[in-house]
Amino acid sequence: MGHRIFLLGFMGCGKSWWAVRLAERLEIPARDLDVLIEQEEGLSISDIFSQHDESYFRDSEARCLRQTVRWPDLVLATGGGTPMFYDNMCWMNDTGITIFLDPPAAVLTERLREETGLRPLLSGVKSSDLQLFIEQKLAERRPVYEQARIVLRGVQGPTFEDQLLKAVAQNR
């Protein structure tokens, strides 16, 4: 049996970074769902949102997510909203190991403060309102995120990496 691992959580939680690191340790490929969508659409995520709408993006996202089934070994960094649409969370749980990366909202705020112009969901959010926005959006998403087979809370560092590898080994 292969390793198909889906990293999920709010934007800025480190999914893309940890996908590469975990894949290196497991000696399997890492992919980023946003990159797969951009390749499929021939547009950046921001351009997809500006030229189409969120519904169009979510359709493409679900299609690209399901295409990852062709890789039996994979660590996939999903988008922050991926689990929320088209039964994606259920599909990921059925086809691999799901891991919810859950740092504190204050950590997410600091990581995202300089990226508000790069993230469609944060477009128009004032810096002074960013943490409240993150807390509210995270509260909406948390019930779905917590359906993951593995939930890792806290600030990420060397201890976190050990927890991540141990959790994957226990859930194969």
Convert the pLDDT of each residue in 8-61 to its tens digit: 999 999 999 999 999 999 999 999 999 999 999 999 998 998 899 889 999 999
Give the per-residue pLDDT at 118. 74
* Domain of residue 18, residue span: 4-170
Mean pLDDT of 133-143: 95
Determine which helix (DSSP H) or strand (DSSP E) holds 4, and give its type and residue range: strand 4-8
Give the per-residue pLDDT at 115. 77
pLDDT score of 144 more than 90? yes
Mean pLDDT of 75-86: 96
Collect all residues with Cβ–Cβ distance below 8 Å to 126 and sequence separation of at least 6.
none
Give the per-residue pLDDT at 46. 86
pLDDT score of 154 more than 80? no
Residue 101, beta-bridge partner list: 152
Q: pTM for the whole thing?
A: 0.91
- Residue carrying structure tokens 């997410």: 108
Domain of residue 78, CATH code: 3.40.50.300
Q: Which two tokens stand for residue 84?
A: 């929320």
Give the per-residue pLDDT at 157. 62
Total of domains in the chain: 1
Length in residues, the chain? 172
Q: What is the pLDDT of residues 90-135, one digit of tens each?
A: 999 999 999 999 999 999 999 898 877 778 778 888 888 999 999 9
pLDDT score of 76 more than 90? yes
DSSP class of residue 29 equals -
